[in-house]
Amino acid sequence: MKKEKTLIIFITLILVLLTGVSIIFILVPKQQNRVFAVWWWDNRLDDSYFDFAYNNNVNEIYYYSSSLNEKTNEFIAKANSKSIKVYWLIGECEWIENYEQLENKIKQFLEYQNNYENKFVGLHLDIEPHQFDDFENRKLELLTKFVELVIYIRNQFSQIWIEYDIPVWMHDEVFIKNIKKPVYEFIIDNCDRVTLMSYRDSYNEIFKCAEDEIKYAASVNKQINLGVETQKLEDNYITFFEEGKNFMYQELDRLKQITNYNFGIAIHHIKSWYELKD
C-alpha cells in the first residue's frame, strides 16, 4: 500500500511538472527561429568581419555588390557553410521613376541565379523615396509612385522572394486603384517581408516607433524585421554608436521580452557594428 501511494505521488508530481512546462512553452514566444540579420554594404571586407558576424549568431546577410560574379558565388558558399542566408542588397531612389533600371538589375539577378551554384535567397531592396532632393515638395506623389513600383515588381516577378527596407514614418495614406491605405500597409501587402528602419537607441522607443507595422504585418501573416543603427550620426537618439555593443545587446534582449509578436532583428551595418565599442 505504501509503495502504491508513493507511486501515485510520483506520477502526480510528473504530471504537474509536465503541465507546468507546457504552460511555459505556451506563454514564452519561440526564439530559436528568430532572424538576426546584418546589412553588408562593402564587399571588400576581410574574413574577420565574416567571422564576427558568425560568432554573433547572424543568420542572414544583406550583401551589396554592383556586379555578380565568382566572388559573389564564393561569399555565398562561405555563408551557406555556416547556415547563413544571403540576399542581394540593391537600391536607388531613381528607380521609382525609372522601372527599367530596376528591371535590368533583376535580370542580372536571375542570370546569376541560373549560372552559379551558390544562390541568393532573394532580393533585399533599399529604395528610399525621401532621397529625392525635392521630396518635401513632392512627398505624396513620390510615395504613391513608390507603392506603384512595389506592386508592379510583385506582379512581374512573383517567383522571386522580394523584401524592402522602409522607414518608420510611412503612415501617409495614398490612393491606389480606389483603395486608400497607409503606405507601409501597401508595401507589406505586396512583398514577402519588410525590414523597418526602426532606428532608436532604447528597446521601448524601438518598439514604440515600430508597433503599428509589427501589428499590421502580423494581421496579414507577413514577416517583419526591426532594424537598429550602429553608425556615428548627428542625431544620437537613432543610433547605438555612443552606447556601444553591450548596451545594444541588452536592449535587443529586452525588446524581445516585451511583446509576443514575432519579428527579426537587423543590424545596420556590419562595418560600424564590428567597430562599435564594447
pLDDT in tens, 217-240: 999 999 999 999 999 999 999 999
Rounded Cα distance between 156 and 149, Å, is: 10
Residue 26: its pLDDT value, please? 26
Residue 33: its pLDDT value, please? 76
Cell of 58: 547572424
Comparing C-alpha atoms, which of 219, 218, 196 is closest to residue 207?
A: 196
All residue ranges of the chain with pLDDT < 70 are 1-32
Q: Are residues 186 and 219 in the same domain?
A: yes
The letter for the amino acid at 157 is F
Q: In the chain, how many domains are there?
A: 2
Helix and strand numbers, DSSP H then E, in the chain: 9, 10
Rounded Cα distance between 191 and 107, Å, is: 18
123: helix, coil or strand? strand
Q: Are residues 84 and 199 in the same domain?
A: yes
Q: Are residues 212 and 75 in the same domain?
A: yes
Q: Are residues 169 and 267 in the same domain?
A: yes
- Sign of the dihedral through C-alpha 57, 59, 257, 252: positive
Q: Are residues 117 and 167 in the same domain?
A: yes
Q: Which residues pair with 87 in a beta bridge?
A: 62, 122
Q: Which residues pair with 36 in a beta bridge?
A: 265
Cell of 183: 503606405
Q: Which domain holds residue 105?
A: 33-275
Residue 27: its pLDDT value, please? 28
Residue 50: its pLDDT value, please? 97
Q: Are residues 75 and 163 in the same domain?
A: yes
Q: Are residues 146 and 38 in the same domain?
A: yes
Tracing cell 562561405 back to the chain, one arrives at 78
Q: Tell me how long the chain is.
A: 278
Q: Are residues 40 and 16 in the same domain?
A: no
Q: Are residues 253 and 169 in the same domain?
A: yes
Residue 16: its pLDDT value, please? 40
Where residue 236 sits, what CATH number does that domain have?
3.20.20.80
Q: Are residues 106 and 182 in the same domain?
A: yes
